[in-house]
């Protein structure tokens, strides 16, 4: 999962500040590496491991600038977490271009074998996409070819050697992509809330299969592929910022709606505790509907993330386990929970490592009972479209066909677990048969390539 950004200023003003803000405002989508591509009489790239503020210092030290450019923050789901796999990629064979990618090309290994002449230097799906596009000699023709050959999700921001910027949302629109035009300045961003950080009122969502080319002559619109929308429900439930919008409604409101549905059915008389940050709005809606007291009894240590854990792939022998990271991420405040029945609200239970540690720690510090209420149905299949749960055998709910709530409660040590139903989830997301629920149902909107079979096999 990654964030994308682009700026094109026709008035010749610097794009640097806006690119930095776009990268910084979208770190929820990943920040293990940051990259900037600038254009001023040619393409210049600065990318390093680290967060936007760290990498931007290097941009200023080097002195690169330009009236147009791209930004990307990365969380790796394919390819290693290292500088060689960080973005953007600069492809200098064929046409020269800079490419940034959000999503996962599920048949990337197959494409590398199919095209040995492209001489890929990494295992990155972004690199093979860029080389396919570049080899056609024209970005539009290259995107047509990529569409014909690639399986998966691929939102792209590309800048060519002439300084033109191409932004594309794949035909199924798995992940969000937005643009904004005000005065003489054009922006692209993964989430519309990023526009708020730049005090922008203008924003439009890319349609599936929509490509916008921005250059000296203005904006040109194209369609590559047929629109077949399958938006990822997990974007709304977890990944996106709470103030970003989905179908005209802020995500925080949709999460509160889900919490209300769960709260209306609650029979336990306890306190409502959010697993911050993602559980906050679920818990607020739950407390409102149930009439139970809302208490923030878990301190959220924002220096640690467990779901998006790059260090699992780093090879560092001193890396923390998921359980150790979970204990550091959510620190219990004993006075708030001692002797009480605790009802925890969270967006999901994926592997069960975080929920197991939180449950154990709450009991040790005095909670009488621990119950979990979850804003998504059981995740039982792997994702092949860009989320970090691609291996089915690692999912805590995957082995079970029935009594899933009881089995997961047993595994994580809770008194009970209750998930929202998929029908109620669809209502809360305003679903019209056009979301992707593959990780819940095992019904994928594309074929599952052989190299991704671990998503569906235990």
pLDDT of residue 14: 97
pLDDT of residue 307: 47
Domain CATH code at residue 168: 3.60.20.10
Asked whether residue 105 falls in the same domain as residue 137, the answer is yes
What is the number of domains present in the chain? 2
Asked whether residue 385 falls in the same domain as residue 333, the answer is yes
Q: Distance between CA 347 and CA 376 in Å, rounded?
A: 6
Q: Distance between CA 365 and CA 297 in Å, rounded?
A: 11
Asked whether residue 17 falls in the same domain as residue 134, the answer is yes
Asked whether residue 374 falls in the same domain as residue 329, the answer is yes
pLDDT of residue 324: 76
Among 214, 180, 177, 185, which Cα is nearest to 195's?
180
Q: Distance between CA 202 and CA 238 in Å, rounded?
A: 25
pLDDT of residue 385: 96
Domain CATH code at residue 350: 3.40.50.2020
Beta carbons of 22 and 207 less than 8 angstroms apart: no
Q: Is residue 238, in this structure, part of any structural domain at all?
A: no
389-398 b/e with 16+ CB inside 10 Å = b?
bbbbeebbbb
173-193 b/e with 16+ CB inside 10 Å = b?
bbbbbbbbbeeebbbbbbbbb
pLDDT of residue 458: 86
Residue 2 neighbours by CB distance under 10 Å:
26
Provide the 3-class DSSP secondary structure of residue 96: coil
* Active-site residue, selected from the candidate residues 2, 232, 383, 439: 2
Asked whether residue 111 falls in the same domain as residue 73, the answer is yes
Question: Taking the chain (458 residues) in consecutive chunks of 10 residues, what is each chunk's mean pLDDT?
Answer: 96 96 96 95 94 93 95 84 90 92 97 96 95 96 97 97 97 98 96 96 97 97 95 96 96 98 97 96 98 96 58 58 76 96 98 95 97 98 93 97 97 98 97 95 96 93
Q: Distance between CA 370 and CA 166 in Å, rounded?
A: 50
Q: Is residue 240, in this structure, part of any structural domain at all?
A: no
Answer yes or no: 2 catalytic. yes
Asked whether residue 158 falls in the same domain as residue 285, the answer is no
pLDDT of residue 317: 56
Model pTM? 0.93
- Residue 38 lies in domain: 2-229
């Amino acid at each position: 999962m990654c964030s994308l950004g682009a700026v094109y200023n026709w008035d010749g003003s610097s794009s640097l500040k806006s690119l930095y803000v776009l990268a910084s405002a979208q770190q929820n989508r990943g920040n293990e590496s940051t990259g900037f591509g600038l254009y001023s009489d040619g393409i210049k790239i600065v990318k390093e491991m680290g967060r936007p503020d760290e990498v931007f210092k290097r941009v200023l030290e080097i002195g690169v600038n330009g009236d147009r450019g791209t930004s990307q923050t990365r969380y790796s789901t394919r390819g290693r977490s290292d500088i060689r796999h960080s973005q953007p990629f600069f492809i200098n064979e064929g046409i020269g271009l800079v490419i940034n990618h959000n999503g996962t090309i599920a048949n990337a290994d197959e494409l590398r074998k199919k095209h040995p002449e492209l001489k890929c230097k990494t295992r990155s799906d972004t690199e093979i996409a860029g080389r396919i596009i570049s080899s056609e000699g024209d970005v539009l023709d290259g995107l047509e070819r990529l569409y014909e050959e690639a399986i998966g999700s691929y939102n792209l921001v590309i800048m060519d050697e002439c300084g033109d910027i191409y932004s594309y949302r794949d035909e199924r629109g798995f992940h969000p992509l937005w643009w904004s035009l005000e005065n003489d300045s054009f922006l692209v961003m993964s989430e519309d809330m990023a526009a708020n950080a730049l005090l922008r009122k203008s924003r439009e969502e890319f349609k599936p299969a929509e490509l916008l080319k921005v250059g000296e002559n203005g904006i040109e619109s194209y369609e590559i592929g047929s629109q077949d929308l399958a938006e990822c429900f997990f974007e709304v439930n977890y990944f996106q910022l709470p103030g970003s919008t989905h179908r005209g409604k802020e995500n925080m409101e949709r999460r509160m709606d889900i919490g209300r549905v769960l709260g209306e059915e609650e029979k336990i008389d306890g306190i409502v505790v959010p697993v911050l940050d993602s559980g906050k709005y679920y818990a607020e809606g739950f407390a409102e509907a149930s009439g139970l007291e809302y208490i923030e009894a878990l301190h959220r240590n924002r220096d640690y993330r467990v779901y998006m854990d790059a260090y699992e792939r780093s090879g560092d022998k001193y890396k923390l386990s998921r359980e150790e990271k979970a204990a550091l991420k959510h620190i219990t405040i004993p006075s708030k929970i001692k002797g009480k029945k605790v009802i925890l609200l969270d967006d999901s239970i994926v592997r069960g490592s975080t929920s197991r540690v939180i449950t154990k720690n709450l009991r040790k510090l005095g909670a009488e009972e621990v119950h979990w209420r979850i804003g998504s149905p059981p995740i039982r299949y792997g994702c092949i479209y860009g989320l970090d749960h691609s291996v089915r055998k690692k999912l805590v709910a995957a082995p079970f066909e029935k009594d899933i709530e009881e089995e997961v409660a047993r595994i994580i040590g809770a008194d009970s677990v209750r998930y929202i139903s998929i029908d109620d989830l669809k209502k809360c997301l305003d679903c019209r048969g056009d979301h992707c629920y593959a990780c819940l149902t095992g019904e994928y909107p594309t074929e599952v390539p052989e190299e991704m079979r671990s998503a569906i096999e235990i």
